[in-house]
Amino acid sequence: MRGILRELHARGHEIVVIAPEVTALIQEATFYKLIRYPVPYQKEDMEASFQWIRNHVFEKLTFWEYLSSTIEKMKNSSDLLFTACSHLVYNKELMTHLEEMSFDAVFTSPFLLCGPIVARYLSLPAAYIVHGMPCSLDSAGTKCPNPSSYIPRSFSGNTDRMTLGQRVKNMLLTMAELFLCDFVYSPYERLASELLNRQVTTMDLLSYGSVWLLKSDWVKEYARPVMPNMVFIGGVNCVSRKPLSQVGGGSKRSPFLSHLSVHQVHARCFASH
């Protein structure tokens, strides 16, 4: 998000970033105002919770071991993130302050639904930026066709050309994804329902997005149906780059691709062309 925020600022927009006091990436910057809110955990708790993300990809596990381990560790991490979200929306002083600031739009990641909840509460248009949603929720939230008989599911190892057995495996994975996403997202549904005083579902929050900025790209992913409000911006990951140090004699420097994921951003005006 950082490169997009810098460009918005350059075009004259005022930007306010909302972030918990304990965060790994979000720092002060000249092109936005940062507002922090208190959370009941320390940086060490956060680092321990997310250590598995760095190590998990190197573990040699069977498919079912990998899936079971992912579910368990995702629950631990999502509990921490949900705590941060609940301490934001229940911070009456801060939420009142956000209402009084009369923003024009909310720019946020919908991955854990906190930003969409705030956007709905403030009755503001929401611009979502995301690489992809678990359980194909980005397709569901935008009403995109996503048949499991044809589109490979995560962890399946399938391609877009599947045998009957692989299609069955894809269907079973789809059912497992529904279970996985239920325990990750159901707390946010309850939180949103309490805050808005009406029954709110995950689909309600995701479908609220006015535009989806997708950091994915078909260079490395299978083509799939998309809606007119879904825009591919895969190159945004190349905005912040720096050369790697040389490895061995005479090796060429290579660009290092990186991106900064901001917890939640409120912009007075979301620029588009």
Query: The whole model's pTM is what?
Result: 0.78
Question: And the tokens for 24?
Answer: 């790994």
Residue among 129, 112, 139, 151 at smallest CA distance from 265: 129
Per-residue confidence (pLDDT) for residue 162, from 0 to 100? 80
Residue identified by tokens 């790209």 is 217
pLDDT in tens, 152-193: 776 677 777 788 888 888 788 777 777 778 878 999 999 999
Per-residue confidence (pLDDT) for residue 248, from 0 to 100? 53
- Cβ atoms of 104 and 176 closer than 8 Å: no
- Cβ atoms of 199 and 186 closer than 8 Å: no
Backbone angles phi, psi at 96, to 5 degrees: -65, -40
Q: How confident is the model at residue 205 (pLDDT cuts 50, 70, 90)?
A: very high
Mean pLDDT calculated for residue range 228-252 = 72
Question: And the tokens for 189?
Answer: 């549904």
- Cβ atoms of 241 and 2 closer than 8 Å: no
Could you tell me which residue, 195 or 51, shows the higher pLDDT? 195
Per-residue confidence (pLDDT) for residue 136, from 0 to 100? 82
Per-residue confidence (pLDDT) for residue 268, from 0 to 100? 39
Q: What percent of the chain lies above the pLDDT cut of 70? A: 83
Considering the domain delimited by 2-146+204-267, tell me its CATH architecture: 3-Layer(aba) Sandwich (3.40)
Could you tell me which residue, 98 or 215, shows the higher pLDDT? 98
Q: How far apart are the first and last CA of the chain?
A: 17
- Cβ atoms of 110 and 130 closer than 8 Å: yes
pLDDT in tens, 75-122: 777 888 899 999 999 999 999 999 999 999 999 999 989 999 999 999
Q: What amino acid occupies position 177?
A: E
Q: Which residues are 106's β-sheet partners?
A: 126, 266
Q: Which residues are 18's β-sheet partners?
A: 35
The chain-wide mean pLDDT, for the chain, equals 81
Backbone angles phi, psi at 102, to 5 degrees: 50, 60
DSSP class of residue 113 equals S
- Residue 162, C-beta contacts closer than 8 angstroms, at least 6 positions apart: 149, 150, 152, 170
- Cβ atoms of 206 and 138 closer than 8 Å: yes
Could you tell me which residue, 75 or 29, shows the higher pLDDT? 29
Per-residue confidence (pLDDT) for residue 252, from 0 to 100? 41
Integer Cα distance of 92 and 94 in angstroms: 5
Per-residue confidence (pLDDT) for residue 249, from 0 to 100? 47
Domain boundaries, the chain: 2-146+204-267
Task: Assess whether pLDDT exceeds 80 at residue 242.
Answer: no
Helix residue ranges per DSSP H, 101-226:
114-122, 137-141, 164-196, 202-206
pLDDT in tens, 254-272: 333 333 333 343 333 333 3
Task: Assess whether pLDDT exceeds 70 at residue 54.
Answer: no
- Cβ atoms of 267 and 103 closer than 8 Å: yes
